[in-house]
Chains A and B, each alone.
Chain A
Amino acid sequence: MTSVSIRDLTLKFGSLEVLKSLNIDIDEGEFLVLLGPSGCGKSTLLNCIAGLLDISDGQIFIGGNNVTWTEPSERGIGMVFQSYALYPQMSVEGNLAFGLKNARMPKHEIASRIARAAEVLQIEPLLQRKPAQLSGGQRQRVAIGRALVRDVDVFLFDEPLSNLDAKLRAELRVEIKRLHHRLKNTMVYVTHDQIEALTLADRIAIMRNGIIQQLDTPHEIYNRPVNLYVAGFMGSPGMNFIEGEISGAGDSDFNFASTQIPLARYPFAQADRPNHAIFGIRPEHVSCGTAASDEPFSTDVEIEVVEPMGADTLVWAVLDGKEFRFRVDGQSPLHAGQSIRIGFDPAKASIFDARSELRL
């Protein structure tokens, strides 16, 4: 059963097209993350779903109903904002009750819903406080609670964790995931943080300039990005890209400078390949030292910078004149200036047409 469906959604501000004919179907109980850099239109899309922006063309369905022209409060959604957007002059309880009061719900029903939400989010002791007296994490819990009490099928999150510090962000992230498992609501979640996207999402939609680049599971997006943009956007540190030529038709090679990478193991999507291509390999798919020699491809590189990050270490090296990053175990005793052997399996790589930037 589809929970939220977006058909040919277009949004224009004057002559500027902000969202271009988008189509998304979100299943019931699905956790969809809209991911992209700032200005890509992801928050705008969320506001359209919520009904806070009037769209220029297309349709929006929620729970099977056409809500394209429906008021936000009647769409059956709850929304959580980046800045929490708590009403400063109301207590936590007042904040939770405000929407319900507007819907003229009976008092006892309001009370029981608040009690339930407070229990779920463990904010019972805070109910009488004002937002100003809460910490950032507590505020965001209350903001989630405000969506919760509405007892709706669809939750919309607009970068809810961006204002929190790293530690709290990780905690609340888990909590949102737990909440999703427990409530099984449909959730649409906007973020620019790929870790959040990868950890939370059932599916991720990567957006750029008002267009969805790829809509798929985190695994697919990570391992099989459909284009150069998605490949570069996902992963931190980012994928290594090397520009070069593909030679041969069957078991071809990728050539750049004096290096040749055999592509026999690479699963090409189609038979005809352009000459000019970009080869991408993630730093974490590179092995080094003795293990490197076991890989289908291996070569020597010179280390420029070593960045120990605790659990692992990021190494910046030079591979035949190109900058090349790879990740090694945190315990590896590497140092700048050293020469080392690295290797990887081209099957794990991604190769893109240099002109169209699409995956080959």
Chain B
Amino acid sequence: MITTSTPAATQRPIRLFRNKAAKIAAIPMILTAVVVFMGGTIWTIVFSFTKSKLLPKANFIGLDQYDRLWSSSKWGIAIENLLIYGICSLIFSLVIGFVLAALLDQKIRFENTFRSIMLYPFALSFIVTGLVWQWILNPDFGIQKVVRSMGWESFSFDPLNNQEIVIYGILIAGLWQGTGLIMCLMLAGLRGIDEDIWKAARVDGIPAWKTYIFIVIPMMRAVFVTTLVIIASGIVKLYDLVVAQTSGGPGIASEVPAKYVYDAMFLSQNLGQGFAGSTMMLLAVLIVLIPWAYMEFGGRQRD
């Protein structure tokens, strides 16, 4: 029989010190999250209500910076560009990435070669990407000139010098750099799908494209989440590529928010304005991110 009077072998551990090692190990992460990301964000928001110019100063002026921000045509263009770029980049990255992954998943020969070809631009920086594409799209040297010299004199393809379509010129370069990684992620996701699904679909006579859209894609939820985080964070941060390719031109036709913020802070020496712009950007990110976090953690049961 057990002696129920036996005292507890150990003192009941205090909650805070349960998992002590894990908590200690997480300190860098907690500090980064709280001090840098949260702290930096709050700092930015606070100073967006000030009239800070070259240096951050706490002379508050209410919402003036936001008034100015939203009445600026440059900011409007920047937002519009980001929306166009963001939506196109999201759709094309996912579609191209997925289609390429599906093609590579057909047990083809030279898969490694094709994969390397599509992935290598990822190793290059946006600055390099922007330069190369600026060069290829340059009407005096690049594609336009080559096509014209082949006899098609009226051929016109100079996205970087045309206000209407300059953002698509940037998109071409952005996709070139980023889709390889997306393709890799998608390929990994496809490889994680049970072979039996394909056998079942084949026996049932379901066409391949239907199997992909209605069966396989819904099974790849996790991959799509990771992919979305990577693509979306890239979109919000879009800056280097624009600077390298067009510097926001022609005119201000290819401005993007990150560039607006940077220019406000360091060219105009109007920190407050820059912070107001970044606050708006962070707000937009939050609007997207909170539902995600809820889906990821809130609804899920712990097992």
Interface-facing stretch out of A59-67, A118-126, A133-141, A294-302:
A59-67
Rounded to whole angstroms, the CA-CA distance of A2 and B2 in the bound complex is: 6
Which of the 9-residue segments B5-13, B40-48, B84-92, B243-251 touches chain A?
Answer: B5-13
* Complex partner residue of B301 from A13, A54, A67, A70, CB under 8 angstroms: A13
8 Å CB contacts to B: which residues of A59-88?
A: 61, 64-70
Q: Contact: B13 with A5, CB < 8 Å?
A: no
Q: How far is the CB of B3 from chain A (nearest CB, A)?
A: 6
A13-B301, A13-B302 known; A69 and B10 CB under 8 Å? yes
Known: A69-B13, A70-B9. A64 touches B302 (CB 8 A): no
Are the CB atoms of B10 and A70 closer together than 8 Å?
yes
Residues of B within 8 A of A1 (CB): 1
Chain B residues with Cβ below 8 Å from A7 are 4
Q: Are B6 and A65 in contact (CB under 8 A)?
A: yes
Contact of B8 among A14, A16, A64, A68 (CB under 8 A): A68
Shortest CB-to-CB span from B278 to chain A, Å, is 38
Q: Are A65 and B301 in contact (CB under 8 A)?
A: no
> Is there contact, CB below 8 Å, between B2 and A64?
yes
Inter-chain contacts of A67 with B (CB < 8 A): 9
**A66-B7 in contact (CB<8A):** yes
- The complex places the Cα of A65 from the Cα of B5 at a distance, in Å, of 10
Name the interface size band of chain A: 10 to 19
Complex contacts, B9 vs chain A, CB 8 Å: 65-70
Q: In the bound complex, how far is the Cα of B3 from the Cα of A2, in angstroms? A: 10
Number of A-B contacts (CB under 8 A): 34
Is the pair A64, B6 in contact by a Cβ cutoff of 8 Å?
A: yes
Q: Are A69's CB and B12's CB within 8 A?
A: yes
Residues of B within 8 A of A65 (CB): 6, 9
Most buried by A among B2, B7, B8, B301: B2
How far is it, in angstroms, between the C-alpha of A65 and the C-alpha of B301 when the chains are bound? Answer: 33
Q: List chain B residues, Cβ under 8 A from A13.
A: 301-302
In the complex, are the beta carbons of A64 and B3 less than 8 A apart? yes
Q: Which of A333-360 contact B (CB under 8 A)?
A: none
Contact with B along A126-162 (1 / 0, CB 8 A): 0000000000000000000000000000000000000
Interface mask (B73-106 → A, CB under 8 Å = 1, otherwise 0): 0000000000000000000000000000000000
Residue of A nearest to B19 (CB): A54
* B75 CB to nearest chain A CB (Å): 45
> 1/0 contact trace for A310-329 toward B, CB 8 Å?
00000000000000000000
Q: Mark A232-253, 1 if CB is under 8 A from B, else 0.
A: 0000000000000000000000
Interface residues of A in 28-69 (CB under 8 A from B): 54, 61, 64-69
Smallest Cβ-Cβ distance to A7: which chain B residue: B4
The listed residue (B2, B8, B11, B302) touching A5 by CB distance below 8 A is B2
Shortest beta-carbon distance from A89 to chain B in Å? 22
User: Which A residues are CB-close (under 8 A) to B3?
Assistant: 64
The distance in angstroms between the C-alpha atoms of A70 and B8, with both chains bound, is: 9
User: Considering residues B7, B8, B301, which has the most beta carbons from chain A within 10 angstroms of its beta carbon?
Assistant: B8
In the assembled complex, the CB of B102 is this many whole angstroms from the nearest CB of chain A, namely 31
- Using CB atoms, name the residue of chain A closest to B8: A66
A2 with B1: CB separation less than 8 A: yes
- How does the 8 Å CB contact mask read for B1-38 relative to A, with 1 for contact and 0 for none? 11110111111110000100000000000000000000
In the complex, what residue of chain A is closest to B10 when comparing beta carbons? A69
Chain A residue contacts of B1, Cβ below 8 A: 1-2
A61–B301 CA distance with the chains assembled, in angstroms: 30
Residue of B nearest to A44 (CB): B303
A70 (CB) vs chain B CBs: closest residue: B9
Tell me which residues across on chain A come within 8 A of B6, comparing CB atoms.
Answer: 61, 64-66
In the complex formed, the residue of B with least CB distance to A75 is B9
In the bound complex, residues from chain A placing their C-beta under 8 Å from that of B7 are 66
**Minimum Cβ distance to chain B for residue A308 (Å):** 29
Known interface pairs A13-B301, A13-B302. Does A61 touch B2 (Cβ–Cβ under 8 Å)?
yes
CB distance from B204 to the nearest CB of A (A): 28
A74 to B99, CA, bound (A): 53
A5 to B13 alpha-carbon distance, docked (Å): 22
**In the complex, which residue of chain B has the Cβ closest to the Cβ of A5?**
B2
In the complex, how many angstroms separate the beta carbon of B268 from the nearest chain A beta carbon?
52
Q: Bound complex: CA of A25 vs CA of B4, how far in Å?
A: 13
Query: What's the minimum C-beta distance from B285 to chain A, rounded to whole angstroms?
Result: 29
Rounded to whole Å, the gap between the CB of A28 and the closest CB of chain B is: 11
B297 to nearest A CB, angstroms?
A: 13
Q: How far is the CA of A54 from the CA of B19 in the complex (A)?
A: 11
In the assembled complex, how far is the CB of residue A83 from the closest CB belonging to chain B, in whole angstroms? 15
List, in ascending order, chain B residues with CB within 8 A of A5's CB: 2
Shortest B299–chain A CB gap in Å is 12
Bound Cα distance from A68 to B1, whole angstroms = 17
A190 CB, nearest partner CB in chain B, Å = 16
In the complex, chain A residues whose CB is within 8 Å of the CB of B2: 2, 5, 25, 61, 64
Inter-chain CA distance A65–B1, complex, in Å, is 11
How far does the Cβ of B45 sit from chain A's closest Cβ, in whole Å? 34
A-chain residues with CB within 8 Å of residue B11 when the two chains form the complex: 69
In the bound assembly, the distance between CA atoms of A5 and B301 in angstroms comes to: 30
Taking CB as reference atom, which chain B residue is nearest A69? B10
23 A-B residue pairings within 8 Å (CB atoms): A2-B1, A2-B2, A5-B2, A7-B4, A13-B301, A13-B302, A14-B302, A16-B301, A25-B2, A54-B18, A61-B2, A61-B6, A64-B2, A64-B3, A64-B6, A65-B9, A66-B6, A66-B7, A67-B9, A68-B9, A69-B9, A69-B11, A69-B13
Closest 4 CB pairs of A and B: A61-B2, A5-B2, A69-B10, A66-B8
Known contacts A14-B302, A16-B301; can you find 8 more A-B pairs with CB under 8 A?
A: A5-B2, A7-B4, A54-B18, A66-B8, A66-B9, A69-B12, A69-B13, A70-B9
